[in-house]
Amino acid sequence: MSATKFICPNGQRIRIADCLRSCPNNQRCMFLPTLRAVANSLERNIAEPTVTELISGVRETYLKKTSSYAVDPASILYALQGQAIHSINEQQTHGAIFSEERLKDDITSGQFDLFGKILDADDGVLGDLKITSSFKLMKALGIYKVKVDTGEIYKSGLKKGQPKFKTELRFDGVRDLLDWSIQINYYRLLLEHAGFKICRMYIQAICRDASLRIAAERGIDKPVYIIPINKISNHWLTRYFQHKAKLLREAMATKTLPPICSFRERWGNRKCLAYCAARENCPYAQRLQSQNKEVTSDEFQLSA
């Protein structure tokens, strides 16, 4: 199954088909063609689990495949931007460049973005397009913040006598690229199985909030970054995807809810609270939501 309902700005839920036929409110929250584009982007006609689905938590993928859920159309707009960027690039793939081809093996399938002479004269470059936030890009580039003692102290106020600190950026941190690296490396593996030779891999990351002050504060001063991706062991890749695919197949066959997603897959629970489309059907996410509401309510009562 998949998303079957839209969540209106007022919280009302309506079947997608009914929304597209007639808005229940005085005025639509978006233009009708935009809502149609959102609805089309939610349709999945691929039987086997894809590379992207297997990188996600098994429980998340299982719930998206077996249960109906509601989505806020506004939350899909960034995905539409990504699709538009992909389409624009695909239209310009003249010469020795391949684009948007879906390949498959006995484990999964994946659709790479760009392959060929996309950076220089070398025809073995594999590229992946990302539309992302300055926060995600900051982590991907290994940028982090540290507090540095200024040598001064506060002369008044609650912090009187305490040392003053300032925040500085450092650019030598560990690059948080695991999911992107796994994804493009498996595309590499699929291409190699098809007889192609890949010499290098890159992510072209477009920062969607590049013009905002928050991006500059995170050390992101350009709208687009080309990020080299290292090769991951084929043996590790194969075992990783075989394991995830096996867990998903078993869950689908037995109609059994898989274990909760890993801490990394849950983004430290942030995804469960606000970003996972299937969270309303996940007992763990619902428990977190309930606990979060209780904490918020207690904080409100204390501050009242």
Long-range contacts of 95-102 (CB under 8 A, 24+ apart): 96/123
Going across the sheet that includes 97-104, the strands are 97-104, 109-116, 125-132, 200-207, 224-229
- CA distance linking residue 16 with residue 175, whole number of Å: 39
Asked if residue 34 lies in contact with residue 239, where contact means CB atoms within 8 angstroms, the answer is no
Task: Domain 74-241: give its CATH architecture.
Answer: Alpha-Beta Complex (3.90)
- By mean pLDDT, which of 136-140, 145-149, 151-155, 297-301 is the weakest? 297-301
* Angle, CA 201 vertex, CA 223 and CA 143 arms, to 5°: 45
pLDDT exceeds cutoff 60 at 299: no
**Band of pLDDT at residue 298, cut at 50, 70 and 90:** very low
pLDDT exceeds cutoff 80 at 46: no
Instruction: Convert 216-239 to b/e letters by CB count within 10 Å (16 or more is b).
Output: eebbbeeeebebebeebeeeebee
- CA distance linking residue 12 with residue 119, whole number of Å: 47
pLDDT exceeds cutoff 70 at 113: yes
- Map out the domains of the chain as residue ranges: 74-241, 267-304
- CA distance linking residue 198 with residue 277, whole number of Å: 34
pLDDT of residue 93: 85
pLDDT exceeds cutoff 70 at 133: yes
Query: pLDDT by residue (tens digit) across 205-251?
Result: 999 999 999 999 999 999 999 999 999 999 999 999 999 999 999 99
Q: Is the pTM of this model over 0.75?
A: yes
If you average pLDDT over residues 85-104, what whole number do you get? 88
